[in-house]
Structure 1
């Protein structure tokens, strides 16, 4: 490894066993004495200055314990270069960062140098244990959140393979402990719920607003259960942070998601009542259900008013704007007054039952059967729409 590019410097050669060549020994005595300059580089967070047996000072890598000579000019270039090639440091920076608040243990697959796993030897053990080889290990992809789930899931399948691999290759550094495997198994349950929901939402080509609530409420339920105090500390910390972020957006969009579910004839208000009873306390659930009903009726009334305004017959508008002899203004006034008096009388009696709207009729009717299996077996979209006829009356 080279030091500074100055002509006054002698190249510093670091061997793999942590020893240095004799040509650098004469430079180390003055390395830390010159001007007693302060250590300001962040690279020193990764190294520790120690004194070796002969009294000289060296920098020890915190990851692989390699000893590196300290440059007489105070340069840290050699330390940065070492970190760029240190296999232990590289592996530590690739740990899971997305969902966990504590590391699950280093897992670096691939490569073959620095004590990492080699593919061909790993596959040999897989075949000997009669495990499926089609799936294989999956690396973490930082730009895809669901790659974390795929990576952990595939590693759990080959748990026994890692144990055998360590027996054959003692230099393998990254054998997860039993605690690591147990944590991975528990943590894997959370991205599994997100992964399943993602496939449901993005795996079809038609609108999916009616499918959000059945999946989203389950995710919230899992976070609620696992963030309780009766769970392990690392699970509680992880899920509590996830739940705080989830609730932040749930409060803003839960009403919209609920209304989308109501418009599905399979669910209507039954799904709302079921999910909210699981999510909220009983009194809060009743408030939220009433809020959904109120908002739904408001939206329906607004829609009916706009529909009536936009679908008035032009000939009727013309007759109303220009009264004829048979339809004089005085006659219209008397008719209006007469109807107004009747309406007032009817309200006082309170005996006339108002006509139910199409929305009320829709909500009171029973839910239609689940036609999901029918959709999977048929490509005829008209079959789907026939199941939606009850809601089409409102449009």
Structure 2
């Protein structure tokens, strides 16, 4: 059985971590898998339940930190030399640089990287953007294959010369779409519940969603906004809500994807994404969607055919979209039903696993 290593920066649950967990579940009968990441996150406990080996990377941090980064690189290089993996597959920008550099030095034969939305597209200084672009271009030369979860990132990579030795390929995220959810019709006196499942980082745009919802309450007081997740900006967002009890902060929930079924409308407010798994979870639950125009959203929702797409970082656009869904809920439900029928085939888990395995074996 071939030996496969997954490397990711953080172990706190997010889209890239979910991608790894789904690949582990789908491929554990074909490969001997080890997952490397920083310590402390929920992904580690889930891997343990799946009987997948995990190793914590000392000094692995999200931000650029030369001393910590060098120590993390040295650790990975030593691990790769000792374990003699057949495949090293890294996810996320920091882990992508360190793991690919270490894998090259350890003479790993198949080095794969998944870009979950290039980090230099995030809000950051010009200097940081330049550093990340140079690093991505350099490490691409040592990569056998690069996977993008957003088709636009294929174009960006080619334009910037981020070209691997073999394939630069689009593999969309996928989930199991089996669904026994039968949504109840919204009664006239029901509270209309908007919601988002996302950790509190600047890229998730919670501040725009909260401000838009506070405007909505002035005209539509029988509404709620449910926010599921943790993260460094949570306390700031709680403060921004000004004690409004119709804004609910539920914290991290292991079954966050399932809880989307209790929303009347899923509101993705991100300013940067690759291919957000959480959109597929909302589609699986047949919940109407409002999303900012980020990452692969236009491909998933087929422009506005399966949901409402709005300008990112716009309080006014989010407010208008929320008002529209409230007043045109039957139309929104019809769109969510069509989205489910389309996406259950195009974005299946089986498709994601098979395409990834093809990269490993070819």
TM-score range, shorter chain: under 0.3
Structure number with the bigger relative contact order (C-alpha 8 A, sep ≥ 6) is 2
Which structure would you say has the larger Rg?
1
Structure number having the greater helix percentage:
1
